Amino acid sequence: MAQQIIAKIISQKEVKPGCFKMALLAPAIAKAACPGQFLHIRCGSSSDPLLRRPVSIHRIDKSSLEILYNVVGRGTEILSKKKPGGSVDIIGPLGNGFNIYENSGSVKMLVAGGMGVAPLLGLSEELKRHKTKSIVILGAKTKNHILCGKEFKKLGAEVYIATEDGSMGKKGLATDLAREIIHSKRYKWHEMCIYAAGPTGMIKTLCKLMEGCSLESQVSLEERMACGLGACLGCAVDTQAGYKRVCKDGPVFKLCDIICE
Amino acid sequence: MRINTKIKIGNIEMKNPVAVASGTFGYGDEFEGLTDIKSLGAIVTKTITLHARVGNKPPRVTETPAGMLNSIGLENPGVERFLKEKMPSLVKFKIPIIVSIAGESTEEYAEIAKRLDSVREIDGIEINISCPNIQTNELIAQNEILTAEVVKSVKSVTKKTVITKLSPNVTNIVSIAKAAESAGTDAISLINTITAMAVDIKTRESRLGNITGGLSGPAIKPIALHMVWKVYRSVGIPIIGMGGIMDWKDALEFILCGAKAVMVGTANFVNPDAAGEIITGIENYLKSARAQDISGLVGKLRV
């Protein structure tokens, strides 16, 4: 069950320009959390900005959690100015995370577009604990935007990189690389399971890529939300079964359930 | 000194004057573990319609300075599924249950109210005639005659306490409030959200899928207070005030302006325990002010 706590900030570091990694002391939430879930964070203390910000859980430790976030607006800007030793009001763990138990014998391919990498590192760690190797595709605009490459490699993951400007790895999108790997004879593709997180465009491309393909695919979605608890119905996403709540029914959905138009 | 925070709205006995507003608390269970739901004065459910509604296309929420816009569009499972699937979990909190209802016609309001009237565990019905997120040219709450018609039709089929939720999107809130009172509503709740917009200049699109939405949060509190104050001086029935109440001080402002009870809405999203903290804050205020009874503060604005 989710809890609201004032978590102590253990560390805060700008890992790339505008991208921060924050570690929070939150034993009970860490114990209950699984990869793909999120925290609902109150960035400021006044009524402007008003709403909490949903942020993916990046890594889960015994008593602490890490988040990886970009400064995109005033809320995250306030969050980025907080210092170690300070505290932050969080609710978590929220939502449904990745399901790694289905197709347990399959090859796990993790596709991250930009900040989509945030929930996937924790997933890769969890897969390693289950002695399952991950194939990781990291896509970003330029080499300066590639995140967590070293961390994934440390976990023994096979890492492939795609940059839009070709400054690192293959020139193109993460989904281009995913297509190439799926169509190559390197893996038994029908045994493959795909986990993805990234911008809407990437999810749409992945939808097309997977059309008519029976691969098990799970995607983590983002949507603006108010309560984060499933009450306000603000974060609706269109699925085969009608509108679902990203906060409560997701943020992880089966790709085949999402309506990508 | 013993303090008394009990109040009565029609036949609804509330142990304190703080309820959670429709559409901001789901059906209760979403907030379990994050606040003591049993301590609330009452719970108002998300609005129920006769048939299920899918709601508006996303994005459905966006943030604005000191407020938020929503265009949910009354997504709900319909009255029968509500009674079957949501009522059991609501009942276990053992607090007054007020069911918010909306219809597409006077008859539909009456039909839903009639269905709810037979459910013993329901204490009150809030008639939502003021949701700005449904595709109609005019809200019922923007028209005195229609407001009175809906109130009369609901009152004629139920013995439960009827609360009419008014819209701030009107020229003269007092005339609408009076129309509802004359038609027999037991209480008035105000205000619903204010029709508003937000635009993304990069995409040149509205930030909401439905283009327009309803503004709530601290940004609307001064408007809501003014309307409560104006209506309080014009009607004799209880008023439930809401609009941007974030803490106990805000709640007391509404009570001093004439609200007998308050509803906490958007604050639930920011702090799931907001209503609980407001209840404690009001109790502490009464103690420190050496005031025995919350009712003694209603409408006591010094002018």
What string of DSSP letters covers A158-213?
EEEEEETTSSSSEES-HHHHHHHHHHSSSS-GGGEEEEEE--HHHHHHHHHHHTT-
B229, B193 Cβ separation under 8 angstroms = no
Q: How far is C-alpha A173 from the geometric centre of its chain's CA atoms?
A: 17
Residue of chain A whose alpha carbon sits nearest to that of B207 = A224
How many angstroms separate the CA of residue B38 from the nearest CA in chain A?
A: 18
Q: Could you tell me which residue, A132 or B144, shows the higher pLDDT?
A: B144
B chain contacts of residue A258, beta-carbon cutoff 8 Å:
none
The phi, psi pair for B242, rounded to 5°, reads -160, 160
pTM of the predicted protein model: 0.95
- Average pLDDT value for residue range B243-255: 98
Burial class for B303, CB neighbours closer than 10 Å (0-12, 13-18, 19+) = exposed
Q: Does A200 touch chain B (CB under 8 A)?
A: no
Q: How confident is the model at residue B130 (pLDDT cuts 50, 70, 90)?
A: confident
Q: How confident is the model at residue B228 (pLDDT cuts 50, 70, 90)?
A: very high
Q: How confident is the model at residue B134 (pLDDT cuts 50, 70, 90)?
A: low
Q: Does A261 touch chain B (CB under 8 A)?
A: no
ipTM passes above 0.90: yes
Q: How far is CA A85 from CA A29, A39, A180, B89, B176, in A?
A: 19, 19, 46, 41, 54
Check residue A244 and give its pLDDT: 97
Cβ-defined contact of A233 to B268 (cutoff 8 Å): no
Q: How confident is the model at residue B68 (pLDDT cuts 50, 70, 90)?
A: very high
How many angstroms separate the CA of residue B69 from the nearest CA in chain A?
A: 10
Q: Does B26 touch chain A (CB under 8 A)?
A: yes
A chain contacts of residue B266, beta-carbon cutoff 8 Å:
50, 226
Check residue A185 and give its pLDDT: 75
Check residue B125 and give its pLDDT: 98
Q: How confident is the model at residue B175 (pLDDT cuts 50, 70, 90)?
A: very high
- Facing residues of B14 across strands? B7
Check residue A105 and give its pLDDT: 61
Check residue A130 and give its pLDDT: 86
10-residue stretch averages of pLDDT, chain A, 261 residues long: 96 96 97 97 95 97 96 96 97 95 75 96 93 91 94 94 93 91 78 90 89 83 96 96 96 92 73
Best residue in A229, A235, A237, A249 to probe B by mutation, most B CBs within 10 Å? A229
Cβ-defined contact of B217 to A235 (cutoff 8 Å): no
Check residue B30 and give its pLDDT: 93
Q: How far is CA A220 from CA A151, A194, A233, A244, in A?
A: 20, 11, 18, 13
Cβ-defined contact of A232 to B270 (cutoff 8 Å): no
Q: How confident is the model at residue B209 (pLDDT cuts 50, 70, 90)?
A: very high
- Which of B18, B48, B97, B131 is labelled catalytic? B131
A chain contacts of residue B23, beta-carbon cutoff 8 Å:
232
Tell me which DSSP letter residue A1 carries. -
Check residue A212 and give its pLDDT: 72
Check residue A104 and give its pLDDT: 58
Residue of chain B whose alpha carbon sits nearest to that of A42 = B270
pLDDT tens column, B184-204: 999 999 999 999 999 999 999
Q: Does B46 touch chain A (CB under 8 A)?
A: yes
Q: Is the four-CA dihedral B250, B256, B259, B260 of positive or negative sign?
A: positive
Residue of chain A whose alpha carbon sits nearest to that of B70 = A234
A110, A98 Cβ separation under 8 angstroms = no
Residue B136 has pLDDT above 90, yes or no: no
Q: How far is C-alpha B151 from the geometric centre of its chain's CA atoms?
A: 16
State yes or no: is B257 an active-site residue: no
Give the C-alpha separation, A105 to A26, whole Å.
33
Check residue A210 and give its pLDDT: 82
Cβ-defined contact of A233 to B72 (cutoff 8 Å): yes
How many angstroms separate the CA of residue B215 from the nearest CA in chain A?
A: 13
Check residue B133 and give its pLDDT: 65
